[in-house]
Amino acid sequence: MAGRGPQSFKKRQKEQQRKEKQLEKAQKRVERKTLPKDSSEDDLVVLDRPYILPEFMDDEPETAEDQETLTSPAASKF
């Protein structure tokens, strides 16, 4: 490479790296197509309502009486 200038040498290196990266990506694509899919995707469940995780739940669920006492002062103003 003695006949090339420093800029063209850098450009050639960049081109080679780009080609290598393209080759790696193409190989990964082919590999993904040939491998069977994971069965973990089939285990998905459709929810019909929000799902609250136990760590986000309150200690005691609110009852209807608790909710009435919270709303009764506001309701009496009108």
3-state DSSP helix/strand/coil percent for the chain, to nearest 5? Answer: 65, 0, 35
pTM: 0.40
At 26-59, the pLDDT tens digits run 999 999 888 877 655 567 778 888 877 788 777 6
Domain spans of the chain?
Answer: 1-31
At 16-34, the pLDDT tens digits run 999 999 999 999 999 988 8
In the three-class reduction of DSSP (H, G, I as helix; E, B as strand; rest coil), residue 28 is classed as helix
Are 4 and 12 a contacting pair, CB within 8 Å?
A: yes
CA dist 30 and 19 (Å) reads 17
DSSP state of 61: P
